Amino acid sequence: MPNDTPDRPLAVVSGASSGIGLAIVQSLVAQGWAVRGLSRHAPAHWTHPAFTHRAVDLLDPQATEAAARELAGARALVHAAGVLRVGPLGQLDASAGAAMWQLHVGAAECLANHLLPAMARAGQGRVVLLGSRVAQGKAGRSQYAASKAALVALARSWAAEVVAQGVTVNVVSPAATDTAMLADPARQAQAPALPPIGRLIRPEEVAALVAFVLSPMAAAITGQELQICGGASLPR
């Protein structure tokens, strides 16, 4: 497994098999990080000597706890694992809501609970939670929006606890991003709205922002929700 070294500090990335998570992995490896990916499956067509995969179902709290205990020494945590299930009032699915809460919030809590105290003791560390523009509220996506909005509260609370120890905690919230999630049959009745720039956000654009937030130049940014929205947040 990659280990934290002076040449390659260790970053942990959940949801590393595809989409935004894989783009983040590739960006961090290119910028000199060793990366340990957490997801049910390894990336299908990409490998690198600085990347190792740890198979874990983050919907399983016990499995997530076991994986978190193996991550000592990480200098950065990026929680990018996500799933989207939609449903209007009258058709809300409690099991879908529970799954999104566990994956987005429960897994984040477990990973942070193990990694952030060690970062604080070391006097350095970075955490990025992948949020969503939908956290502002959107018809038909209340359960998803609630789980993503919770990440902002977690990030601000954790940031307040570790700010004096050189650790930052932030949320990066993309608008609709060009990933396989948009092709999920569970959401085909609700097509994504294009941002004002006229196209979907690209995974590599999200990855570039995450990489900056993890960099030394972002040491003064903490407790913030950073939106990459193609102008979707301009109307107020």
The full set of domains in the chain, from first to last, is 10-228 (3.40.50.720)
Query: What is the pTM (predicted TM-score) of this model?
Result: 0.92
pLDDT tens figures, 26-71: 999 999 999 999 999 999 999 999 999 999 999 999 999 999 999 9
DSSP strand E in 68-123: where?
76-79
pLDDT tens figures, 135-151: 999 999 999 999 999 99
Average pLDDT over residues 105-129: 98
Burial of 19 (0-12, 13-18, 19+ CB in 10 A): buried
| Mean pLDDT of the chain, nearest integer | 93
DSSP character at residue 12:
E
pLDDT tens figures, 77-106: 999 999 999 999 999 999 999 999 999 999
DSSP strand E in the chain: where?
10-14, 34-39, 51-55, 76-79, 125-130, 167-174, 225-228
Distance CA 123, CA 61 (A): 28
Candidate list 131, 144, 187, 214, residue with the active-site label: 144
144 given a catalytic annotation: yes
pLDDT of residue 234: 82
Q: In Å, how far are 19, 71, 107, 113, 233 from 110, measured between CA atoms?
A: 23, 12, 5, 5, 31
Distance CA 38, CA 7 (A): 22
Average pLDDT over residues 188-215: 88
pLDDT of residue 179: 84
